[in-house]
Structure 1
């Protein structure tokens, strides 16, 4: 009869850790520029929000490496995408736009059921997969070089399109926290399918995160302040350890006690802009904690190698 040690040994043969890493080993992996961490501001829903992020970052002296958006490429006009691409390009900042739609924006009854939320971020049916791929194509046509995905099928096809010349070779695929893969093998699979960066679930422990880092090389995106609808945690004092054990890592500032505003429009723009400004203030708090408790941690500069900075349209 085999034992649990046989299973652990087999995992080692796959270059997977034998368990959660309670010794919290220091990661030696880095971004292409040699840095350990970068800062991400999520829910930057359009040009007005991006203007606010840039203004606050300059006022507070914070480097923002990436902004991401949740409403979807389909909810932006061509001019709005062009403006975001131009603004970010000038600052050496990555913009990642969500490829939508998905089940929760469709006629899916299951996504509204008490146990059905797991299907909400998925592309539902072949037509919806095509619509997501069209969002990616449109983003690329307007100079965007990073898209946010929440379905492994969309990722697989998009990666095939990238390797086949249907999408730019420098297009990056950022996996959403809504994917919810939560163990080293599952996230290794996302890497193997073509993911360039992975947003891990918000509630993982440090040993669990360390085990994921041991299994994959791509950057991990980690919420240190989490929106209420995905946990509402505030993990600011853990940031130095997260950088040490999980680098290369995007430190991601969500916002607790804030509404879910997807999809954003003019009717919610003032709220979205204020939330963007507050996320940058939270980023300043995070950077101060890093400088106080882990001053040797290496941060990327704006426009660093590996950032999917937009091409000017």
Structure 2
């Protein structure tokens, strides 16, 4: 006699997945084919050792940098590198130099965003409309490319060793500049979250175009992140652990141990949830909230029992500035 339970188990065994031809083609070539792929720990490390680093965004001025560093030290929380996110072309040489000097003295990295981003450019009208905003921050004129190239030369001349870009064409340009010596060979190029790196093939494309690291789309599941790591072994994954309120506000601190295991070498990108929007002014309270988020994420990692190895002090991916 077949029971209802037996029948249910038999049905489960017999379930066929859709897109079988596509799945077979992908699986036969060792490519991502399902979100139910078993999770496996990555064996990857940074150059010089270590599985993970800590990246803190929206450090857009010397004041914010100084306050954030002070708060992290008081909490006894490590930080690997900071991100400036509005565009360094809005900062004078003097302020950029001050920020780089403080980071170098503190042995902390600083990654500056290249500009002009399209919303600041003289052809910005398209991007400020609803349709343009959906297209991502793509550069649409040759003059802007020249300005970005010049900005990259300016920032690296001041000692910066990490740059953020938003456009695949810009990455190809920066890759060429680096190969020909117009930019330092050790310069790290980082793809912004606005590049919308949302699947393993997109991540591989940015790696081919010269990106050393990519900020992954905020809402990716563990299986997608695992396949990004597998398909692009040398690409550093910068994974947001919490999100601005206007982008959903979710916090995935309980997953930090899993993220480190499957995605190493990777950065835990922590602190965005301290703000509703990345363009909001950063107050003293925002800085305190961001420091608290970093400390809390590290507490979750410590309580997990995972013996994760922090990024080595000599890793170029730290983006520690050099003397100009």
Is the structural similarity TM-score above 0.5?
yes
Q: Deviations over 1:110-141 (max 9, x none)?
A: 32333432334222211112222222111101
CA distance in 2, matches of 1:109, 1:11: 44
Aligned match of 1:79 in 91, 94, 98? 94
Aligned match of 2:253 in 236, 240, 257? 236
* 8 Å Cα contact 2:171-2:211 kept in structure 1: yes
| Gap runs ≥5 in structure 2 | 1-19
Matched, 1:41 2:56: yes
**CA pair 146-118 structure 1, distance change in 2 beyond 3 A:** same
**Structure 1 residues 138-177: aligned runs within 5 Å:** 138-177=154-193
Number of paired residues? 303
Q: Deviations over 1:259-309 (max 9, x none)?
A: 4354x8xxx4xx345423321221111111101003311112555454221
* 8 Å Cα contact 1:100-1:131 kept in structure 2: yes
CA distance in 2, matches of 1:181, 1:71: 19
The equivalent residue for 1:25 is 40
Aligned match of 1:137 in 153, 156, 159? 153
**CA pair 272-74 structure 1, distance change in 2 beyond 3 A:** farther
The equivalent residue for 1:285 is 296
The equivalent residue for 1:209 is 225
* Pairwise CA distance, 1:27: 0.9
Report the more deviating stretch, 152-161 or 180-189: 180-189
CA distance in 2, matches of 1:28, 1:59: 33
Superposition RMSD in Å = 2.0
* Pairwise CA distance, 1:177: 0.5
Aligned match of 1:66 in 63, 81, 87? 81
| Gap runs ≥5 in structure 1 | none
CA distance in 2, matches of 1:50, 1:303: 22
Q: Who wins on radius of gyration, i.e. which is larger?
A: 2
Aligned match of 1:3 in 5, 21, 29? 21
Report the more deviating stretch, 189-198 or 21-30: 21-30
Q: Deviations over 1:234-261 (max 9, x none)?
A: 1111111111111111001133362435
**Structure 1 residues 44-123: aligned runs within 5 Å:** 44-106=59-121, 107-123=123-139
CA distance in 1, matches of 2:267, 2:177: 26
TM-score (norm 2): 0.87
Aligned match of 1:247 in 264, 269, 274? 264
* Pairwise CA distance, 1:3: 2.5
* 8 Å Cα contact 2:218-2:240 kept in structure 1: yes
TM-score (norm 1): 0.90
